[in-house]
Amino acid sequence: MNSNDKKISLPRLYIPSNEKIVNPLSTGIKASNLSKKNTQKRIDPQFYNQQHDLNNHFCVIVGSEYVLKIIALQQSLMQYSEKFTLWICCIDPFAYSLLKEMSLINVNLLQVEELEDRELKAIKRKRKVNEYCWTLKSVLIEYLLVNYDLPSILYCDGDLCFFSDPNIIFEEWGDHSIFLTPQRDRDWVEKMYGKYQAGLIGFKNDLYGLKSVRWWKNKCIDWCSAEAEEGKFGDQKYLDYIPIYFPKVKISNNLGINAAPWNCIYNNDYKIDKTKNDIFIENDKLVVYHFACITIFTENDFDLWSLGEISIPNNILNHIYTPYLERIQFVLKQLKDKFNKDTKQFLSKKDINKAQTLYKDSQLRRKMNQSNHFMNFSMIISKERLIQGLTSYYSLEPV
């Protein structure tokens, strides 16, 4: 460990977006006299897991449109992680009240108001919902590291889902302060939108972890738009500079961490296969997949890539997408049967006729996905031609 990374005895203060970092000793101000908002932990004991030192920590931001996906994410962590804490920041009352009612295991809930100061509230009025959520990522990460003195935090987009033990991520992260995952996209995409994926990113509670996340926060507060311009895009393009400006950055080499459509479906030519219960991308076990741009119309109707029409290979449909859709279907059933919810309120209001990569899940479709050469036939049979029709049908059976 670098000597500069050792924790000092002074309290680590959460720095609101419009305030500068102040060392209490350098000003003569007692730490107890500093703003209560900076240091107060607003904890509802019913939803706060105090055994956080033993866990890997994940955080996510959720609004009402992402509730189903967040629950699926939590369930995947429950399946594959022995010890974890998932911190969920809810940006609207609907998401907070529902998740509070569900009392999800190993989950700590926060309301966005706990993070917001006057500057952020002003920004909120000017930016789109997705842009404001991007702005909040670094704010949330710093808030959790400092207010709860967590050793590290891994931010996850709400549409991630785990397929094996996430401890693989923390092992690769090791002693580094920052964890980044490459986009692995086309060159022009990375040049415009960024080399590193902002949907999975980690920071340690040490010198460089805090410095880098605060640098990122200040950049996002200054500008965070969904329209790329002059070398900037949302919160993501800024990440290009983190390995340049800060030491102790780990850039993942694992193809199974933050796998996604842009690096597994319409880019690259990775071999993806299933061995027993594990899915492999080349020689790397699939740890977490990014199900970006999925729209949920009904429990069986989905747009698997809303940005355009793409062809998803059957092995990826079978081994990756079908298990995820089953999770979504299970969550919908749970909300209906156990919590007596009208599931329509969780579904997309978009026009299904405008879906780009429409997928209708059914037992027949899953059977068709098992082969790259599945053929469909149709017949019109009358009473007079019944014998001929049945003869034709039985002729299709394998010998």
At residue 389, the pLDDT reads 85
- pTM: predicted TM-score of the whole model, two decimal places: 0.85
Give the model's pLDDT for residue 379.
84
* Cβ atoms of residues 172 and 257 within 8 Å: yes
Nearest to 144 by CA among 209, 72, 199: 209
Q: Three-state secondary structure along 215-277?
A: HHHHHHHHCCCCCCECCECCCCHHHHHHHHHCCCEEECCCCCEEECHHHHCCCCCCCEEEECC
Tokens of 390: 């049945």
Distance of alpha carbon 271 from the chain centroid:
24
Cα–Cα distance between 193 and 91 in angstroms, integer?
A: 25
pLDDT tens string 315-352: 999 999 999 999 999 999 999 999 999 999 999 999 99
In sequence order, what E strands does the chain have? 56-62, 84-90, 107-111, 152-156, 160-162, 178-180, 200-204, 249-251, 257-259, 272-275, 278-281, 284-285, 288-290, 295-296, 301-303, 358-360
Whose tokens are 């029409």? That residue is 309
Question: What confidence score (pLDDT) does residue 369 get?
Answer: 87
- The upper half-sphere exposure of residue 318, i.e. CA atoms within 13 Å in the direction of its Cβ, equals 17
pLDDT at residue 377, as a whole number: 79
Spell out the CATH class of 8-258: alpha beta
| Ranges under pLDDT 70 in the chain | 1-54, 373, 399
Cα(190)–Cα(239) distance, rounded to whole angstroms?
11
Write down the domain spans for the chain. Answer: 8-258, 293-369, 370-395
Q: Does residue 142 contact residue 115 with C-beta atoms inside 8 Å?
A: no
Among left, alpha and beta (phi > 0; psi -120 to 50; other), residue 12 is beta
What was the pLDDT predicted at 12?
A: 41
Could you tell me the two tokens for 50?
């105090």
Tell me the two tokens of residue 93. Answer: 């009352």
